[in-house]
Chain A
Amino acid sequence: MRLLAVLLGLWEVLGRVCLTGRWAILIPLPSRIGEELAAMLASGEVGVALAHSALRVLVGGGTGAALGLVVGLLVGRGGFGRVLGSPLALVRPIPPIAWIPLTLLWFGVGELQQWAILAGATFHVVTAGVRDALDRVPASLVESAKNLGSRGFGLELVRLRAAAPELGFTLREGLAMAWFVLVAAELVSATEGIGVLVLQGRDLLLPARTFVGMLTLSVAAGLSDALLRRVGFGVGVQR
């Protein structure tokens, strides 16, 4: 925190001294950003943008995570599910932005299209993580359970319980990914949202807005992650 304050101070001072002409406008100083932030908070713009984006993350990211959990469990179990592994691996490296044209064609301009982008990104993170979590369950634990008489569904439950902390951690990673692609998702068609604030920085020649948008995004992502951690997701995972 102290380092941050020092860096901001440096930015402010160097900015005042070195930035002239159009650069004085293009690179806003922390004080300017602070002003803009205060104004936007007062007017409720930040609140509205946050609400819209948070809802998108919840619906889109949530859907992707739920689907990812199911598919990840199917693939991670081995057997028939493993078949899904290869097609998923082919699709995974394609960045969310590349999906924008297709999603626009299929879903048109609107919330559904944005949910699709968010869901897609979250889905891949979660399937990979869930599969890893199941792979990492120590064989000795499963063997012990079997040795003591556990079979069938009971045995599957043992695997799940053993993987639970890692599964929770994966869901948090999914959430982080949803926030991460939010701006790209809102790029083309959103009218309200954090991404919109970020884009307005250029459109309105008010780069301070972009910084306010980034700050809001960072805080929102951090708080939602902290919330999940509080509730117990991924607690105890050493990474």
Chain B
Amino acid sequence: MIRLTDVKRSFREAETGAEVTAVEGLNLEVARGEFVVLVGPSGSGKSTVLRLIAGHDPGPVQSGTVRVDGEPVVGISPRRVLVSQDPALFPWLNVEENIRFGLRALGRPVDVSAWVSALGLEGAERRKPHELSGGMRQRVALARALVIEPEILLLDEPFAALDALAREQLQEGLEAAWLKTRPTVVMVTHAVDEALKLADRVVVVTARPASVCDELRVEAPRPREVAELGLLRRRLSERLRSYRAGG
């Protein structure tokens, strides 16, 4: 459903004016309903890949193609929603209103109670973002995105800023929500365990410029105990280490 072909994307660095190639020769295919996780060293252009699929930053320098269902991606669309580390909640709206935002904008019925429960937000509906913890905010950001039932959900290290417990709870919440509506998911993370827990397929991305250098299918049944995936985990960690070292 999503196909990136030989994608190259460069930026002009603001301070030095130097051209930085974030992504080069990247090929990636994601099937409908698949949960794909991109892992790789920091700053390896993984975020750029997500933004390209989402249609943010069309940018001046680009070659290759980014297609969804055969059509090139042009601009932002509610069919391809991006959720980042920064939840970017609307500070003047409470939890419920934030979640309803997309539905309102798209003129759809605004009953969000099911999603409020699904992400464990009962009781917090009237609270404003500044009254919430980091974990709660990310739940709201996720609910807000899931509620409009996008075809593609793009997650850019959404749980990186959270403590271990919140992280675990949100991973479970995400998986449960995903199983309900089965959007196509492309997620970026550093955490190997997180990748193995959630992914149908783990894609290893090299350091800048980003391109795909390895893939791992995870066929264990859900929900998974990552401790039982010991062998897979070791393989993945080894590969990441070797790519980091430039091997």
Contacts and interface: CB of A to CB of B under 8 A. Distances in A.
B78 A149 contact: yes
A42 to B, nearest CB: 48
B125 interface: no
Nearest to B82: A147
**Which range contains the number of B residues in contact with the other chain?**
20 to 34
B90 A158 contact: yes
B34 interface: no
Nearest to B80: A147
Interface string A137-162: 01011011111111100100010011
B92 A161 contact: yes
A117 interface: no
Contact of A140 (B80, B86, B105): B86
Nearest to A144: B88
B196 to A, nearest CB: 28
A164 interface: yes
Contacts of B195: none
Max chain B C-beta neighbours (<10 A), residue from A147, A161, A162 = A147
Given A148-B81, A148-B101, A154-B105, A162 B91 contact: yes
B120 interface: no
Contacts of B189: none
A149 B90 contact: no
A148 B88 contact: no
Secondary structure type dominating chain A contacts: helix
B76 A146 contact: yes
A163 to B, nearest CB: 11
A158 B86 CA distance: 18
A145 B102 CA distance: 8
A179 B2 CA distance: 60
Nearest to A150: B105
A210 B91 CA distance: 46
Contacts of A138: 88
Given A149-B105, A149-B106, A143 B76 contact: yes
A137 to B, nearest CB: 11
A143 B78 CA distance: 11
Contact of B102 (A140, A148, A161, A164): A148
A145 B101 contact: yes
B84 interface: yes
Contacts of A150: 101, 105
Contacts of A145: 90, 101, 105
Contacts of A148: 78, 81, 101-102, 105-106, 144-145, 148
Given A148-B102, A148-B105, A149-B148, A140 B90 contact: no
Contacts of A143: 56, 76, 82, 88
A151 to B, nearest CB: 8
Interface string A159-177: 0011010000000000000
B106 A161 contact: no
B54 interface: yes
Given A140-B86, A154-B105, A147 B54 contact: yes
Given A145-B90, A145-B101, A148-B105, 4 more contacts: A143-B76, A147-B54, A147-B77, A148-B145
21 contacts: A140-B88, A141-B88, A143-B56, A144-B88, A144-B90, A145-B105, A147-B54, A147-B77, A147-B81, A148-B78, A148-B105, A148-B106, A148-B144, A149-B102, A149-B106, A149-B148, A154-B105, A161-B90, A161-B92, A162-B90, A162-B91
